[in-house]
Protein backbone atom coordinates (compact mmCIF):
# COMPACT_ATOMS: atom_id res chain seq x y z
CA UNK A 1 0.00 0.00 0.00
CA UNK A 2 2.81 2.40 0.88
CA UNK A 3 4.56 1.58 -2.41
CA UNK A 4 1.38 2.35 -4.37
CA UNK A 5 0.97 5.71 -2.57
CA UNK A 6 4.61 6.60 -3.19
CA UNK A 7 4.29 5.71 -6.86
CA UNK A 8 1.18 7.88 -7.23
CA UNK A 9 2.93 10.81 -5.50
CA UNK A 10 5.88 10.63 -7.88
CA UNK A 11 3.58 10.56 -10.92
CA UNK A 12 1.56 13.52 -9.67
CA UNK A 13 4.67 15.62 -8.99
CA UNK A 14 6.50 14.78 -12.22
CA UNK A 15 6.93 17.77 -14.56
CA UNK A 16 4.65 17.81 -17.58
CA UNK A 17 6.14 16.81 -20.90
CA UNK A 18 7.08 19.63 -23.26
CA UNK A 19 4.27 20.02 -25.79
CA UNK A 20 4.06 22.06 -28.96
CA UNK A 21 2.00 24.68 -27.10
CA UNK A 22 4.56 24.94 -24.29
CA UNK A 23 7.56 25.63 -26.49
CA UNK A 24 9.60 28.68 -25.63
CA UNK A 25 7.62 31.72 -26.73
CA UNK A 26 7.52 35.07 -24.99
CA UNK A 27 6.24 38.60 -25.52
CA UNK A 28 8.96 41.05 -24.54
CA UNK A 29 8.96 44.81 -24.07
CA UNK A 30 12.25 46.57 -24.68
CA UNK A 31 13.48 50.09 -23.98
CA UNK A 32 16.37 51.74 -25.85
CA UNK A 33 19.00 50.68 -23.29
CA UNK A 34 17.80 47.05 -23.30
CA UNK A 35 19.30 46.15 -26.66
CA UNK A 36 22.20 46.77 -29.03
CA UNK A 37 21.73 46.85 -32.81
CA UNK A 38 23.72 47.78 -35.89
CA UNK A 39 27.32 48.99 -35.78
CA UNK A 40 27.25 49.16 -31.96
CA UNK A 41 27.27 45.33 -31.90
CA UNK A 42 30.98 45.48 -32.77
CA UNK A 43 31.60 47.27 -29.45
CA UNK A 44 30.22 44.39 -27.37
CA UNK A 45 32.84 42.42 -25.49
CA UNK A 46 31.59 38.93 -26.30
CA UNK A 47 33.35 35.93 -27.84
CA UNK A 48 30.88 36.06 -30.73
CA UNK A 49 31.17 37.73 -34.13
CA UNK A 50 27.94 39.69 -34.64
CA UNK A 51 26.12 40.47 -37.88
CA UNK A 52 26.24 44.23 -37.47
CA UNK A 53 23.61 45.48 -39.86
CA UNK A 54 20.72 44.52 -42.09
CA UNK A 55 21.40 42.09 -44.94
CA UNK A 56 19.49 43.49 -47.93
CA UNK A 57 19.52 40.16 -49.80
CA UNK A 58 18.38 37.78 -47.06
CA UNK A 59 16.62 40.17 -44.69
CA UNK A 60 18.61 38.75 -41.78
CA UNK A 61 19.81 40.77 -38.80
CA UNK A 62 20.76 40.32 -35.16
CA UNK A 63 20.06 42.21 -31.97
CA UNK A 64 21.82 41.75 -28.63
CA UNK A 65 19.31 41.74 -25.77
CA UNK A 66 20.61 42.51 -22.31
CA UNK A 67 19.72 39.48 -20.19
CA UNK A 68 18.75 41.72 -17.28
CA UNK A 69 16.11 43.40 -19.47
CA UNK A 70 14.09 40.28 -20.25
CA UNK A 71 12.78 37.62 -17.92
CA UNK A 72 13.73 34.67 -20.09
CA UNK A 73 15.85 32.15 -18.18
CA UNK A 74 19.01 31.12 -20.03
CA UNK A 75 21.19 29.31 -17.47
CA UNK A 76 23.58 27.91 -20.09
CA UNK A 77 24.19 31.23 -21.81
CA UNK A 78 27.55 32.54 -20.61
CA UNK A 79 27.20 36.00 -22.13
CA UNK A 80 25.49 39.04 -20.61
CA UNK A 81 23.29 39.25 -23.70
CA UNK A 82 20.91 37.02 -25.62
CA UNK A 83 21.01 36.82 -29.40
CA UNK A 84 17.73 37.85 -31.05
CA UNK A 85 17.79 37.07 -34.76
CA UNK A 86 15.43 36.91 -37.65
CA UNK A 87 16.21 33.85 -39.78
CA UNK A 88 17.14 34.02 -43.45
CA UNK A 89 14.29 34.66 -45.88
CA UNK A 90 13.23 31.68 -47.96
CA UNK A 91 10.33 32.73 -50.24
CA UNK A 92 9.18 29.11 -50.62
CA UNK A 93 8.48 28.82 -46.89
CA UNK A 94 4.99 30.18 -46.09
CA UNK A 95 5.92 30.97 -42.46
CA UNK A 96 8.06 33.93 -43.41
CA UNK A 97 8.14 37.68 -43.64
CA UNK A 98 9.25 39.49 -46.76
CA UNK A 99 12.55 41.34 -46.84
CA UNK A 100 10.65 44.65 -46.72
CA UNK A 101 8.72 43.53 -43.60
CA UNK A 102 12.00 42.52 -41.99
CA UNK A 103 13.51 45.87 -42.91
CA UNK A 104 10.60 47.66 -41.23
CA UNK A 105 11.26 45.71 -38.00
CA UNK A 106 14.98 46.49 -38.12
CA UNK A 107 14.27 50.17 -38.78
CA UNK A 108 11.81 50.29 -35.85
CA UNK A 109 14.50 49.01 -33.47
CA UNK A 110 17.04 51.53 -34.82
CA UNK A 111 14.52 54.39 -34.52
CA UNK A 112 13.61 53.53 -30.91
CA UNK A 113 17.24 53.39 -29.94
CA UNK A 114 17.97 56.69 -31.68
CA UNK A 115 14.95 58.41 -30.07
CA UNK A 116 15.91 57.09 -26.64
CA UNK A 117 12.39 57.38 -25.26
CA UNK A 118 10.06 54.81 -26.80
CA UNK A 119 9.61 51.11 -26.19
CA UNK A 120 9.05 48.09 -28.42
CA UNK A 121 6.96 45.00 -27.85
CA UNK A 122 7.79 41.88 -29.85
CA UNK A 123 6.92 38.19 -29.84
CA UNK A 124 10.01 35.95 -29.71
CA UNK A 125 10.54 32.22 -29.57
CA UNK A 126 13.09 29.50 -29.16
CA UNK A 127 12.36 26.77 -31.71
CA UNK A 128 12.45 23.08 -30.83
CA UNK A 129 15.85 22.14 -29.49
CA UNK A 130 16.63 25.66 -28.27
CA UNK A 131 14.10 25.64 -25.41
CA UNK A 132 13.57 23.10 -22.67
CA UNK A 133 11.65 22.65 -19.46
CA UNK A 134 13.92 23.52 -16.54
CA UNK A 135 13.47 23.74 -12.80
CA UNK A 136 11.45 26.97 -13.07
CA UNK A 137 9.58 26.43 -16.35
CA UNK A 138 10.61 26.95 -19.95
CA UNK A 139 14.18 28.17 -20.41
CA UNK A 140 16.64 28.64 -23.24
CA UNK A 141 19.11 25.86 -23.88
CA UNK A 142 21.56 28.40 -25.37
CA UNK A 143 21.66 32.18 -25.97
CA UNK A 144 19.46 32.20 -29.08
CA UNK A 145 16.00 33.67 -29.63
CA UNK A 146 14.17 34.33 -32.88
CA UNK A 147 11.34 36.61 -33.90
CA UNK A 148 8.11 34.60 -33.95
CA UNK A 149 6.30 34.50 -37.29
CA UNK A 150 4.36 36.33 -38.41
CA UNK A 151 6.60 39.00 -36.90
CA UNK A 152 4.89 41.73 -34.97
CA UNK A 153 6.66 44.67 -33.39
CA UNK A 154 4.75 47.52 -31.81
CA UNK A 155 6.36 50.81 -30.88
CA UNK A 156 4.96 52.76 -27.93
CA UNK A 157 5.84 56.24 -26.71
CA UNK A 158 6.93 56.41 -23.07
Q: 46-104 pLDDT, tens per residue? A: 999 999 899 998 889 999 999 999 999 999 999 999 999 987 666 666 667 888 999 99
| Residue 14 pLDDT | 32
Contact between 125 and 148 under an 8 Å Cβ cutoff? The reply is yes
- What average pLDDT score do residues 111-129 get? 90
Tell me the C-alpha distance between 122 and 34, whole Å: 13
Q: What is the dihedral of CA 100, 106, 110, 115, to 10 degrees?
A: 70
The answer to whether position 55 is within a domain reads yes
Q: Quick check: helix, strand or coil at residue 129?
A: coil
The answer to whether position 5 is within a domain reads no
- The parent domain of residue 63 ranges over 23-157
The answer to whether position 102 is within a domain reads yes
| Residue 158 pLDDT | 63
Tell me the C-alpha distance between 89 and 145, whole Å: 16
Report pLDDT digits (tens) over 5-55: 333 333 333 333 322 334 688 999 999 999 999 999 999 989 999 998 999
The answer to whether position 14 is within a domain reads no
The answer to whether position 38 is within a domain reads yes
Q: Residue 116: pLDDT above 80?
A: yes
Q: Residue 133: pLDDT above 80?
A: yes
Q: How many domains does the chain have?
A: 1
The answer to whether position 92 is within a domain reads yes
Contact between 89 and 100 under an 8 Å Cβ cutoff? The reply is no
Question: Has this prediction a pTM greater than 0.95?
Answer: no
Amino acid sequence: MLAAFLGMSILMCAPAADSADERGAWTITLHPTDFVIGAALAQLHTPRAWAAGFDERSGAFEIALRKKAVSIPAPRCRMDVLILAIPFYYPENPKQASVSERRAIYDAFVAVQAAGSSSLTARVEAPAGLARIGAHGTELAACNLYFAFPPSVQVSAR
